Amino acid sequence: MAAGRAAELGASVLLLEKMEKPLRKLRISGKGRGNITNTKPIHEFLQKIYPDGSFLRPAFSLFFNTHLVQFLHKTGVRTVEERGGRVFPASQRAWDVAEALLQWARRMGVELLCHAPVTAVTHGSDGLFSVMFEHNTAKRVAHGKQLLLATGGLAYPATGSTGDGYGFAKKLGHSITPLRPSLTPIEVDGLAKFAFKDLPLRNVKLTATAAGKTIGEELGELTLTGFGISGPIALRMSRSIVDALQVQREVALQLDWKPALSKVQLQNRLERELLQSDIRHTGDLLRKLMPAPAIPFFAERAGLQVRAKVCENAKEKIVETLKCCTLRAFGYRPFSEAIITAGGVSVDEVDENTMQSKRVAGLYFAGELLDVDASTGGYNLQIAFSTGWLAGSKMAGGR
């Protein structure tokens, strides 16, 4: 986006890509469907961004969700809006978005070199940047008055995001805030023996507490796995959980299996099930309340025997555990399983109106490399598109 925009405004642009093709991470985003943005207005959008969304206000003011959709339509990519304001390509193929961006950048005049990993970056006293890279087994150097670092973070390293940009930024004088996985699955004690294979629980509520304080609460779909929890609500809460784990070492989780029902309503439902159904054992009753594969796990948490007859004590335990099933989070999955990276180039050292470094004239940043990240729902890709558009515009002298 930055390269194409700068070239469109008349700049001579060289884009160095270390992988065999550009936009590898975009091509697999949204499970391959490409959740490219969200239709929420700016003030709601900014609330989904950490640690401080206000840094992105100038970038969003210049190029936001409606601008992105219009831009893609012009390149031939139609879009559709789905639940929660999430926007996808109508083809449901992130690949189509990637190809449209690539073809647009080439039409604008961008010179693209693939299989061209950058090995070092320097800034001379003459104000020129020297970028050392390899291409076709040869070592080469490119020089320019301006340099954009948009190398991504550490998440999904197989796509090329191996943290190279952090090293370049640091050598050029920038501070890097602590890096950690975000939008990543959480490891939970006691789940491994049940060998879950991605068991989805729909319409549940998850609450996380650390040091006696609530650090997150979400409603929606949760996935039980062999190591812990994943799925939309776990991923959305993972940033707070990861940060707490790094300090507290463990986080308490409370799972409400039936958030729409009170305890009294649940008790009444159990009585109706017992009257209307041929239920002989506790396990039979639990099958009316949850997916069958979840029953052994739930029964253990509630202290129940699935082959025992249903008694008053069993009904009480079922209701209590349905409303508050306590788990212990003790870890989180690595960058290879995380969607994004939290932390990065300190935004205190970057001009929010241009994406230019406050420390090195002519140096720009965009995307995940910056210390801004967001929840799921199209927010992170919009950050990349908006900061790229702003950086490319300013590098070429545009407004």
328, 345: one domain: no
260, 322: one domain: yes
Residue 130 has pLDDT above 70, yes or no: yes
Q: At what angle do helices 312-323 and 295-302 cross, to 10 degrees?
A: 110
Q: At what angle do helices 379-395 and 65-74 cross, to 10 degrees?
A: 80
pTM summary value? 0.94
250, 391: one domain: no
> Of 141, 162, 142, nearest to 151 (Cα)?
162
User: What does the pLDDT look like over 134-163, one tens digit per residue?
Assistant: 998 899 999 999 999 999 999 999 999 999
41, 130: one domain: yes
> Of 12, 50, 14, nearest to 341 (Cα)?
50
The CATH number given to whatever domain includes residue 126 is 3.50.50.60
44, 145: one domain: yes
Model confidence at 395, in pLDDT bands (50, 70, 90)?
A: very high
ω into 117 cis (within 30 of 0): no
The β-bridge relationship of strands 14-16 and 111-113 is parallel
Q: Under a CB-based contact definition with an 8 Å cutoff, are residues 255 and 212 in contact?
A: no
Model confidence at 250, in pLDDT bands (50, 70, 90)?
A: confident
> Of 314, 197, 199, 216, nearest to 267 (Cα)?
314
Domain end point (choices 285, 304, 333): 333
| Distances in whole angstroms, Cα of residue 388 to Cα of each of 68, 69, 214, 225, 395 | 12, 15, 36, 36, 10
124, 216: one domain: no
Expressed as residue numbers, the domain containing 262 is: 185-333
Which tokens in the block code for residue 172? 């050029």
What is the C-alpha separation between 110 and 121, in angstroms, rounded? Answer: 20
Please report the pLDDT score of residue 399 as a whole number.
59
Which tokens in the block code for residue 131? 């970028």
Domain end point (choices 333, 360, 380): 333
47, 150: one domain: yes
What is the C-alpha separation between 39 and 81, in angstroms, rounded? Answer: 8
User: What does the pLDDT look like over 321-336, one tens digit per residue?
Assistant: 999 999 999 999 999 9
Highest-confidence segment of 105-114, 193-202, 278-287: 105-114
DSSP-H helix ranges across the chain: 2-8, 24-28, 42-46, 57-62, 65-74, 94-108, 164-171, 232-248, 263-276, 282-286, 295-302, 312-323, 379-395
User: What are the residues facing 352 on neighbouring strands?
Assistant: none
| Distances in whole angstroms, Cα of residue 2 to Cα of each of 33, 106, 108, 169, 213 | 23, 12, 11, 18, 42
**8-state DSSP, 278:** -
* Residue given tokens 């840094």 in the structure block: 55
What is the C-alpha separation between 93 and 98, in angstroms, rounded? Answer: 9
User: What does the pLDDT look like over 89-104, one tens digit per residue?
Assistant: 999 999 999 999 999 9
287, 386: one domain: no
What is the total count of domains within the chain? Answer: 2
What is the C-alpha separation between 212 and 84, in angstroms, rounded? Answer: 31
- Torsion angles phi and psi, residue 9, rounded to 5: -90, 5
Domain end point (choices 333, 366, 386): 333
The CA-based dihedral angle spanning residues 343, 349, 353, 356, taken in that order and rounded to the nearest 10 degrees: -100
Residue by residue, DSSP assigns 146-188 as -EEE----SSSGGGT-SSHHHHHHHHTT--BPPPEEES--EEE
238, 377: one domain: no
Sign of CA dihedral 103, 378, 241, 296: negative
68, 163: one domain: yes
7, 146: one domain: yes
* Widest pairwise Cα distance in the chain: 86
Please report the pLDDT score of residue 273 as a whole number.
92
Mean pLDDT over residues 65-86, rounded? 97
Please report the pLDDT score of residue 223 as a whole number.
97
Mean pLDDT over residues 276-284, rounded? 88
Q: What b-and-e string marks burial along 305-334, b requiring 16 or more CB atoms within 10 Å of the CB?
A: ebeeebeeebbebbbebbbebebebebbbe
Please report the pLDDT score of residue 277 as a whole number.
77
Query: To the nearest whole number, what is the mean pLDDT of the chain?
Result: 96
59, 191: one domain: no
Please report the pLDDT score of residue 278 as a whole number.
82
Mean pLDDT over residues 2-29, rounded? 97
User: What are the residues facing 356 on neighbouring strands?
Assistant: 364
Which tokens in the block code for residue 250? 């463990």
Model confidence at 280, in pLDDT bands (50, 70, 90)?
A: confident
Q: What three-state secondary structure class fits 95? A: helix
User: What does the pLDDT look like over 23-35, one tens digit per residue?
Assistant: 999 999 999 999 9
